[in-house]
Structure 1
Amino acid sequence: MPHLALYTFGVLKSPLAEPAPLTREFYDIGAAVYRKISRQPGYVAHAEAADGDRGALFGADWGAWGEFDVPTWYDKGRTVETTALAATLSLWTGPRPVFDAVYTGLHREALNRRYDWFERTGHPNYVFWWVPDGVIPVWRDGVSRLEHLHDHGSAPHAFTFHDSFTPEGTPTRTNGIGPKSD
């Protein structure tokens, strides 16, 4: 059975290494959100650096998830001291479990505060695509699909909750997600 890949990307207002209260708050909430999401029904796995070092994204060993990459519009630092981004890459059983994880509980609380931490870039901040069972997407997959979504809109190759597709490429609607069917 195919899995749903999810790549998220946001540009932070300040570098990850900055000791400002907002950065610490983001880290603290982020760690708690990850713990909760990893226990969510429908969650399969997410990319984690082998050394687990917060902020060491570029050059970290991501194992099967590949080399860390970012969209072309990211124009901030790439060192531990200057990196100002948050990105995730994960696998799920389908869109409903992701929706439930994102829009309820602790993640919903954090989402409500996103503009405290993230810049408004005018670019999409997440993208979905289907991968065959046993395939682990790599960071470059997520980046290229997010850029495709930005440039061309939703398609079976790269889509959102509101304009989603089945693994076979048919437009679909999950109950309570996306536009109403005719």
Structure 2
Amino acid sequence: MTYQLAQVNYSRLLAPLDDPRLAAFVAGLEPVNAVADAAPGFVWRMQTEDGDATAIRAFEWDAGESAGVIVNMSTWTSIEALAAFVYGPLHVAFLRQRRKWFEKVERPTTALWWVAAGHVPTTAEAEERILHLREHGPTPYAFTLRRHFPSPDADPEDARDGDPGWLCPA
């Protein structure tokens, strides 16, 4: 069986999406998503039939006092492919501005896990993975880019389990 990498991340909004304080974030969504969609190794991104990922409801149990939660979920052919996008120039520039738009959360709001190729993960699966990561830390069931695990069908000789030096910039 072949596997793909699923990823989810969510953020607590500092203001509603139609608030002027989030205008730069909203304006950047389409270009950032277009880069992701065209990236080598990209497979799938969660969105409505209209192409709107911001309309997806999940993780509302963790909204706190925020203006709401925004969710991103996608699948990739490999950890390397996801990392190349995440640490690419456009996404990094966008990410650097996140404190203007999102609350700081002390617990993990991003999780990665392996799925069978072609499987479309659900928000319920994603919520379960985040909760598992929060309770147990990185494991093969739910992990991070910094502490990751090889796909279930990886050759153990080729696995670089959790070595962030080869993947994540310091």
TM-score range, shorter chain: 0.7 to 0.9
More helix per residue: 1 or 2? 2
Deviation at 1:174, TM superposition (A): 6.5
Alignment of 1:72 onto 2:56: no
Q: 1:15·1:85 contact (CA, 8 Å) conserved in 2?
A: no
Write the letter of the residue equivalent to 2:22: T
RMSD (CA atoms): 2.2
Distance 2:150 2:46 in 1: 23
Q: Partners of 2:54 and 2:74 in 1: how far apart? A: 18
Number of equivalences: 161
Contact 2:5 2:115 in 1 (8 A): yes
Identical amino acids, percent of aligned pairs: 26
Structure 1 counterpart of 2:10: 9
Given that 1:44 and 1:91 are in contact with CA atoms closer than 8 Å, whether structure 2 keeps it comes out as: yes
Give 1:86 deviation, angstroms: 1.9
In structure 2, the gaps of 5 or more residues are: none
Deviation of 1:124 after TM superposition, in Å, equals 1.2
Distance 1:45 1:11 in 2: 23
Q: Structure 1, residues 38-64: CA drift from partner, whole Å, max 9, x if none?
A: 100010011111134574333xxxxxx
Q: Which runs of 5+ in 1 are unaligned?
A: 59-68, 78-82
Native 8 Å contact 1:8 1:127 kept in 2 = yes
Per the TM alignment, residue 177 of structure 1 is displaced from its structure 2 partner at its CA by 2.5
Is the Cα–Cα contact under 8 Å of residues 71 and 144 in structure 1 kept in the other structure? Answer: no
Paired AA for residue 89 in structure 1: M
Aligned residue number for residue 37 of structure 1: 36
- Which one is further off, 46-55 or 110-119? 46-55
Instruction: Confirm or deny: 8 A CA contact 2:46 2:73 kept in the other structure.
Output: yes
TM-score w.r.t. the length of structure 2 is 0.85
Superposed counterparts of 1:156-175, under 5 Å = 156-168=140-152, 172=161, 173=163
Q: Which residues in structure 2 correspond to 1:1-182 (within 5 Å)? A: 1-18=2-19, 20=20, 22-53=21-52, 55-58=54-57, 69-70=58-59, 72-75=61-64, 84-168=68-152, 172=161, 173=163, 176-177=166-167
- Give secondary structure in 2 for the equivalent of 1:72: helix
What displacement does 1:76 show?
Answer: 5.1
One-letter code aligned to 2:46:
A
Q: TM-score, normalised by structure 1?
A: 0.80
**Alignment check: 8 A CA contact 1:127 1:146 kept:** yes
Query: Contact 2:53 / 2:71 at 8 angstroms: preserved in 1?
Result: no
